[in-house]
Amino acid sequence: MAEVGLKKWIITFTVITASLLELIDTTIVNVAIPQIQGNLGATLEDVAWLSTGYAVANVIVLPMSGWLGNRFGRKNYFLTSIIVFTLVSFLCGNATSLNELILFRIIQGLAGGGLISTAQAILIETWPREDVGIATALFGLGAVVGPTVGPTIGGYILDVSSWPWIFYVNIPVGILAAYCTYSFVRATPKEGQGQPVDWWGIALLAVAVGSLQTLLEKGESEDWFATPYITALAAASVFGLLLFIWREMSTDHPIVNFKIMRHRSFSVGMFTSFILGFGLYGSVFIFPVFCQNLLGFSALQTGELLFPGGLCTIIMMPFIGIMLKKGIPAQFMATFGMLAFFIFCWMLSKSTLQSGTGDFFLPLVIRGIGMALLFVPLTTLAIQDLKGPEIGQGSGLNNMMRQLGGSFGIAALTTLIHIRSGFHRSNLLTNLNDYNQPFVDRFNGLIKGFMAKGQTLFDAKIMAAKAMEGIVTRQTMLLTYDDAYWVAGLIMLFSIPLLYLQKFKKNANIPADVH
């Protein structure tokens, strides 16, 4: 039953706050990895498991969240997830070894997986049927802005304090969210109690999705299928997924209800969510690396660059919900969102080594507008035909696809950068010869400059060669990132026709009571 008055807004604030706990934490830790590495005396490869372990645990729970919410009661499951996430945040900050921290991050990922989908289901049941678009828009504030502001918050915390505080900041927010959930969120019936638990389904899901997520996280560093480790993960994910689908289709009490795939809008919506994740998380990943490693920006500067776009997203989200309520087709808005994202990528592909912070303002604003136009309409299109318990189940699967899309995006763009860097470096080195007069003039100018500082001719030539090597390396990386932005933009552009496989329904038949 829908809520009214102040209580509706308190519940909305509560679920968005709880969602931000998980969404910000997904990206905030990445900024602190160098400091954690130095403090705990670990290698970069070992520290990377802080992100990998969290992501694997998170993506395993996401498709199960609808089943868990129905079995134990949506309020109970949501409240437990908040409490566990908050407690483990304290333990993460107090960890004294890398192994402890990785273990706590895995537990945090398990709890975080229950926050997003359950929050979305609670929000949909809190708002009247005719205002579902507005509810989805409000939820989208956290889902889109969280990954954007995470690096900014992380950079600021590291500038004024130390890495444990990126976990401690969760504690007061978690306490507030837990109190509001306990006090205001309506309890839901516990469905399926007394029915057998599909342990085989849970095990196969963990193997399939966990192996796939680990493969995507570690594939590039392990040289993909050149290593038995990655090959084994690929085999486990494929066979695990096939067995999992067979198991869930044949058992009487599945943990993931694949029957909701009969809704064409939801099936297509899962794929478009995958594309959204590819673009959102992929671009969020490569942009900070591009700014910090190539242009020399600090973590805080990079984070501050993302604020204008995030602000545009915040401002636009409520208006997107209102437009959906008025019957403006979601496909039209999503089309403009994908076009905006393509323009953002095209503009970034024109960056140079002299680009400053002002050069990124307009592209990031366009990206922020595009994300608002994408998230709400795509989510609305996906869930509009779902009813009752299907909403929680569909929300979990939809969020899992967005998470996997992000992992695929990061893996694909990282691999592309690795492959294209060799290509561009080879092309640049081919042009560095005695027949290239600009190169000869630049090289001789460097030699004269070093000799003017007291270096011998021999030493000056060595130093000039090293300087040219640095120039080639930076130019190579610039061209490589340009390619990555082009690929991300073209994928969004070519995905536009998929939107028109779905039919938008004004005031879709999503009941206020989603039990």
Q: What is the mean pLDDT of the chain?
A: 79
User: What pLDDT, on the 0 to 100 scale, is given for residue 91?
Assistant: 94
pLDDT in tens, 440-479: 777 777 777 777 777 777 777 778 777 777 777 778 888 8
| Cα–Cα nearest to 400, from 56, 28, 52, 29 | 56
Do residues 59 and 113 make contact, with C-beta atoms less than 8 angstroms apart? yes
pTM: 0.74
pLDDT higher than 60, residue 508 = no
Q: What is the CATH number of domain 257-418+484-507?
A: 1.20.1250.20
Domain map (residue ranges) of the chain? 1-192, 198-254, 257-418+484-507, 422-476
Euclidean distance between CA atoms 467 and 447, whole angstroms: 10
Top-ranked range on mean pLDDT: pick from 37-51, 108-122, 437-451: 108-122
Do residues 185 and 29 make contact, with C-beta atoms less than 8 angstroms apart? no
User: Average pLDDT of 254-268?
Assistant: 77
Top-ranked range on mean pLDDT: pick from 106-110, 114-118, 380-384: 106-110
Do residues 510 and 129 make contact, with C-beta atoms less than 8 angstroms apart? yes
pLDDT in tens, 179-238: 988 888 877 766 656 667 778 888 888 888 788 877 877 777 677 777 888 888 889 888
Do residues 159 and 153 make contact, with C-beta atoms less than 8 angstroms apart? no
Do residues 137 and 318 make contact, with C-beta atoms less than 8 angstroms apart? yes
- Range scoring the smallest mean pLDDT among 69-83, 340-354, 458-472: 458-472
User: What pLDDT, on the 0 to 100 scale, is given for residue 445?
Assistant: 77
| 1-192 and 257-418+484-507: identical CATH topology | yes
User: Average pLDDT of 291-300?
Assistant: 77
Would you put residue 327 in left (φ > 0), alpha (ψ -120 to 50) or beta?
left
515 pLDDT tier (thresholds 50, 70, 90): very low
Distances (CA, A) of 108 to 45, 170, 387: 20, 11, 30
Q: What is the 3-state secondary structure (H, E, C) of 316-359?
A: HHHHHHHHHHCCCCHHHHHHHHHHHHHHHHHHHCCCCCCCCHHH
User: Average pLDDT of 262-267?
Assistant: 79
pLDDT higher than 60, residue 514 = no
pLDDT higher than 70, residue 388 = no
User: Average pLDDT of 409-416?
Assistant: 80
Q: Which fold has domain 1-192?
A: Growth Hormone; Chain: A; (1.20.1250)
4 pLDDT tier (thresholds 50, 70, 90): low
Do residues 303 and 149 make contact, with C-beta atoms less than 8 angstroms apart? yes
User: What pLDDT, on the 0 to 100 scale, is given for residue 513?
Assistant: 36
Do residues 64 and 142 make contact, with C-beta atoms less than 8 angstroms apart? no
